Every structure is written in structure tokens, then in C-alpha cells.
Structure 1
Amino acid sequence: MSTHPPGPTTGPVSTAGPAEQRAREAAAQRLGLEVGEEILDGGSPARVHRARTADGTELVLKVLTAASGAVDGHDLASFRGKREQIELIRQAAPQLGAHYLPVRDSIEGSGWAACTTPYYPSRDLAACLREGPEGTRRFFAHHDAVVHGLFVHGYATRTVPAPAGHLTDVNLGRFLRRLPVLARRLPEVAAADELVINDRRCASPARLLHRLSDEHAARLRRLAPPRLMFPAHGDANVRNILVGQADRETGSRADPETDYRIIDPRGSVDHWDPVYDLAKTLFSLTVWDPALRLGFAIDGGAGNGTPRYRVGFRRPVYPGYRSAAHGFLPYLETSAIPGLLEGDPGWRQRLLLTHDLHVLAEAPCRLSDLKPKPDAEGRCAPPEELALGHYLMGTLLLDDLVRQLTGPAEPDVDRHLALVTGGPGREAGS
């Protein structure tokens, strides 16, 4: 999160529409806030600004306006549900709740909703991976603290039997339900039954998922969670976990075991699969965060016949991200996660499948987030470019994983992730 004080907005010119501007002004007036710079780090369509009260208290103001075509999770109902979920967490899982930034104010107007949280000087969970030597070690130290807070003291609070069909309805269905949003903006790609991506011939995701459901239902059942757990989050990407920064005035260092905060849960109090969140973190490292920070490089097009594309990132991916992504499952094996998931033998393969589905489901998400997305060079990628890049990389991943899952051997995790990461990175000192 930015550490600049409220004041004139800097950086990319705001793309907020008239309705968004009116909603922000109305929220600021009702709450008595001086609104400062826009924070562009988030991945939802909500507009987020630094703000200050009359007595100088620093806050973050988040405003969402109703929009047609918004994907599930980007709607006003989910926005309202976040406060309810945080309140439940703080009551039922207080050790985890202490790490959540509390919602201070929550108001609504005609077609919009807004909330404020305390301002927390921090960096995202993956920031250390962009700094070179020792970054991977520090990332896993931070994440280990999060595992204990979010999973041991959160998800493990309660369990219920998972309903039959949960994996198909939730994980596979989430992308299929969002596909019409993508089809309206990128019809040639979304309608293609087959694509050639980076010289690999891939079946379309919809075709692959229907094949999994129809021809390999028994295998899907073996991957499904036997139980769901307390709704500890539901969207644990690396930008929703904030690691505290050292206090500039006192010089005190931030302790990763205690100085982290969690924001923006899914917005539902229904029980959930913790593997979904582990896959969200992995997806942040392999595709999502690199795409937003570095941009996609895409060549090719639909043209006549089978669409052919080459897709990668505009700049080399940070070695720390690659190292952490390829080390993620081995690290989880040494953490508290296997104990939490005892009696759930399919969790590792479910994590890979859910990771790939997160990449695909993010494609329509990019189309409902119109905020500028400046990369490391200051270039703002159009939503369609980010959507296409996620769809192509997700297709590449899912096609490979379905081949591996329906084959005789266990999936080769490194080979699979290397389709988008290029292989494990190696940092000096890691």
C-alpha cells in the first residue's frame, strides 16, 4: 500500500467514471473525509483512496458502484458481505480476527457502497520476492506465520461435511459461469474449440472441463474435499496479506509473526475449502501478480482457422517469484497444512487444478476492473490484454494438467508450473 499522505493524486490519470466520482464524493462528505491519492494495488473494480478524518486519523476509503457485467465477487452483495464475514471471524476465531483490518465505517447510497479501514503502513506479502537475495526464505517465513493465523487459527475452527459436487459446482463452475463475460468482449477466442498456444495445441477450457466432469467424474470425486471449513478468507492472493513496515519514527522493525494484516475476504460466511486459498496464493506467484506488475507480451490472433498465440510476460519474471512458486508445495509439506488436511488425500492435485482455474477465472475479472494497471515501466495494460493473457496461460495450464491427471503417473508439478514461470528461479543466497 502507498505510504504517501493524502494530497493531490499522482501517477496514472484516474479512469473513474461519473458515477464512481459521485459515489466517492458522497461517501467522503457523509464520513467527513479528506480524500487523497488513489491506491491501484487491488484487483477488484472498487475504487480505493487514502483518506484523512478532521482530527488527522489516516484511513483507507473503498467505494464500489454497481456495474452491469460484473463477475461474481465484484458485485455489491459480495462487497457488503465482507463486513459480515470479518465480524464473524473476529467473534468466532479471535486469534485470526486480530490480524484482520477492522471495518470502521460502512455506508450505502443509490447504486453504491463504501467502507473505511484503518491505514496500515505495509507491503504486500510478495514484496520481499522482488528484492533479490534472501527473498524466498523471507517469503516462506512470512507465509508460515500466515498459515498459523489463517489456517490453524481460522479454517480449523469449524468443519462440516462437504456437499457432493462441491468441486464441480464451485471450482469448475466458477469459471464456466464467468465465461459469458469473456465471450462478450473476446468472442473469437472464447468461442474457439481449440487453440495453439506457444506451439502447443490445446483444447478450450470449457471443452476440457466438460470432459473432466463427464468422462472422469470418478477422478474428480477423488480430488474433492471431504469437508469444508470455517470461512477464514476465500481470496488469499498476496496483495490481500499485508506485512507491516518498520516504524520510521521509532526505527522499530516489523515482526512478520505478529505484524501482518489481512484484508478483503471473499464476502461470504459459508464454509469453504482452505485449498482454494492456498491455490490463490500460488496463482498470485505464477501469473496474476507478475502479469499486473510486468504486463503480458502477446503475439498472434484468431484470424482464420485455429487461433494461434504466443504469450509470456513483457519482462523477465522476478527470480524470487519463480523460486517461491516452485517451492510452494514442498514448503507446504513441511508446514501445518498436511495435519490440517489429514484424511484429504486429493488436496495436492486439487490445489493444482484450482490454481489453473484461478488463472482462467481471472480473465473475465480483468474485464470488470477498469482501474489503471501501471506495470514496472509505467505502461497501463488495457483490460482486454490482461484478460486475454490470463485466458491463454490458463488454457495452457489446464490442458497440460488434464493430460497429466488422466494419465498413469502423478502430475509433475515443476513441469506443469514451468509452462508459465519458465522454471524454478534461483536467487543468490536462496
Structure 2
Amino acid sequence: MAVAQGVACLGQPDLLQPRFLCFPVHGDLNLGNILVNTDGFTVIDPRGTLDYWDPIYDLGKSLFSLTVFDDVMESGLEVTRRIRSGVPEFDVRLLEDRTVDVALAMEFLTMLEDLPFLSRRHRYDPFWRERLLLVHAVHCLAEAACRISDDSPRAFGPHAGISARRLLAKGLHLIGIRLLNACVNQLECTRKVGPPDIRPIISWSDQHEPRSRTAEKA
């Protein structure tokens, strides 16, 4: 609903529709699936598809890996609940200092802007940045569900096993909602002034204490 409203505000009902598709795409282009050596890099473990696909999906997964996923899986997070003006809210804090990863994410965005592929694409697909923001948020929400089914051993502070997996799922879900809301707000604010500024959304925190607040509904 929030995405639909944001798109409607732009007056661009086809905003999420890529102008052209590519083949092949990877399907799970997180940093753990990229092996770097002195001669370049190798991409492994594709989530194969025989269909043409939007390459922004892959780029959004790489960005999500830099901004959220790797830190969360490596060091965990904390989720606290409190009541503010009678409304339950949740705060999410990543335990890892994100300074380096946010800086890398900014460099990644700069690199994307400089790629001939995307600079040419902008003429035919002017909304690729908007889709990158949406895909980045949706990857976070999708990964929340994956944490429940993941049977890998996890332990963060007092949480271990299924407790740790539930904590990861809850935290990723809340962060995803926050990113999605920020994305829609950005779409509304920039509909008359050009492409969205991706960087504030990628940062989404002061230092390493992101806050994701959402009201609890019965």
C-alpha cells in the first residue's frame, strides 16, 4: 500500500516497470557470493532463472548486503519495545559500528552512477534509482522471513537458536519497514525536483544506532 501511494504521488503508475530486462541475472548477488582475486572477481552460487529479469534486483541485493545484511548476520542486533504517548514502538540497534560499511555503500552508489551500463540506461529507464531504493527495502523485508527457516546456529548475547533467528527476523522486518517508509517519503519529496537522493536513505542512522519505529496493531 505504501509503495502504491508513493508511486501514485509521482503520477507515474509505471514507475516500477523496468523499461527493458536483461539475461542472465544472478538472483542473489550478496557480497558473500563474490570472490575477489588479483585477476578480478568471480560470482558464485546463482539463484538461477531462465527468464529475463531487471538487473536492478541484483544491484539492490548487493547494496542491501553492504548496508544491513552483512552486519546483522555477523554481529546481530537489539530490538527494544516501549510505549510513547500510548502507542507501542520498537527501536532497532545494530551491534556493529556501521561507519565503514556505510562509506562503502556510498562508494558503491558512486560506482553505479559511473557505470556506462547505467549512464546509458538512464536515457531509456529514468526511474532505475527509484527502483533501486524500493528493491533495497524489499530485500530487507524478504530476508526477515528467510531467517525463521534458517537452521544455521546463531547466537547474539542471550539469544541463541530459534530465539536468535526470531530476533533477526523481527529486526530485519522493522528495518525494512523503516527503509520502505523512507523510500516512499523520498519519492513524494522529489517528484518535482529530479531523481531521489539515495544516500540519506542508505545511511538511515546516526553512527551505528539506527532506530526503526512502528506502531503495534492488534
- TM superposition score normalised by structure 2: 0.80
| Aligned: 1:349 with 2:130 | yes
SS at 1:396 equivalent: helix
Per-residue deviation, residues 41-92 of structure 1 (Å, max 9, x unmatched): xxxxxxxxxxxxxxxxxxxxxxxxxxxxxxxxxxxxxxxxxxxxxxxxxxxx
1: CA distance, partners of 2:101 / 2:108: 10
- Quote how far apart the aligned CAs of 1:223 are: 4.5
1: CA distance, partners of 2:107 / 2:80: 30
1: CA distance, partners of 2:38 / 2:174: 39
Q: Is the 8 A contact 1:225 1:347 kept in 2?
A: yes
Match of 2:102 in 1: 322
Match of 1:386 in 2: 168
Q: Which protein shows a greater Rg?
A: 1
Aligned pair partner of 2:201 in 384, 402, 416:
416
| Aligned: 1:242 with 2:16 | no
Which blocks of at least 5 consecutive residues in structure 1 are unaligned? 1-206, 244-253, 424-430
SS at 1:365 equivalent: helix
Structure with the higher helix share, 1 or 2: 2
- Quote how far apart the aligned CAs of 1:402 are: 0.5
Match of 1:400 in 2: 182
- Quote how far apart the aligned CAs of 1:208 are: 1.2
SS at 1:269 equivalent: coil
Aligned pair partner of 2:2 in 208, 230, 233:
208
Structure 2 counterpart of 1:323, one-letter code: A
Which blocks of at least 5 consecutive residues in structure 2 are unaligned? 209-218
Per-residue deviation, residues 341-381 of structure 1 (Å, max 9, x unmatched): 25111111211111111111111111111211356x89757
- TM superposition score normalised by structure 1: 0.43
1: CA distance, partners of 2:29 / 2:49: 14
Match of 1:308 in 2: 89
- Quote how far apart the aligned CAs of 1:293 are: 0.7
- Quote how far apart the aligned CAs of 1:339 are: 4.6
| Aligned: 1:255 with 2:38 | yes
2: CA distance, partners of 1:238 / 1:273: 19
- Size of the aligned set, in residue pairs, is 202
- Quote how far apart the aligned CAs of 1:295 are: 0.5
Match of 2:78 in 1: 297
Match of 2:114 in 1: 334
Query: In the TM superposition, what are the counterparts of 1:195-234 in structure 2 within 5 Å?
Result: 207-212=1-6, 215-216=8-9, 218-234=11-27
Over the aligned positions, Cα root-mean-square deviation in angstroms equals 2.8
Residues 281 and 226 of structure 1, relative CA distance in 2, 3 Å threshold: same
* Structure having greater relative contact order (Cα 8 Å, sep ≥ 6): 2
2: CA distance, partners of 1:232 / 1:293: 26
